[in-house]
Amino acid sequence: MELKNIQIEVDDWIKNIGVRYFNELTNMAVLTEEVGELARVMARTYGEQSFKNPKSDIEKKKMIKEELADIFFVIICLANQMDINLEEAFKESMLKKSTRDKERHKLNPKLT
């Protein structure tokens, strides 16, 4: 599915089920909350913290998948309400990274 179609699907969901978009500041706070939830799962899966109740690898992956999807949804909401085409924005970002960072990572001794 193309990003523009995903943006349309989220917009339709907001209008038909979600009633309306939260304002931009609220959505920024929601995004921060969702990133925090992902950080919590990542810290317990890959870091030194542990889950209160042990989780299988399948459960951990499912939790990470769900949090990433929640983050993606809120990012799409923000883009929609600010009339940002994410496909265009992504292409521009990749071009910038490919130009600016063409040799940067290859020359980084920390990565070799």
Query: What is the C-alpha separation between 6 and 75, in angstroms, rounded?
Result: 11
Query: What is the C-alpha separation between 57 and 111, in angstroms, rounded?
Result: 28
Give tens-digit pLDDT for 44-103: 999 999 999 999 999 999 999 999 999 999 999 999 999 999 999 999 999 999 999 888
Query: According to the model, what pLDDT value does residue 41 have?
Result: 98
Q: Where are the domains of the chain?
A: 3-85
* CATH 3.40.1440.60 is the classification of domain 3-85: no
Query: According to the model, what pLDDT value does residue 1 have?
Result: 86
- 19-28 long-range contacts, CB within 8 A, separation 24+: 21/77, 21/80, 21/81, 22/77, 24/78, 24/81, 24/82, 27/74, 27/77, 27/78, 27/81, 28/78
Side chain identity at residue 43, one-letter code: A
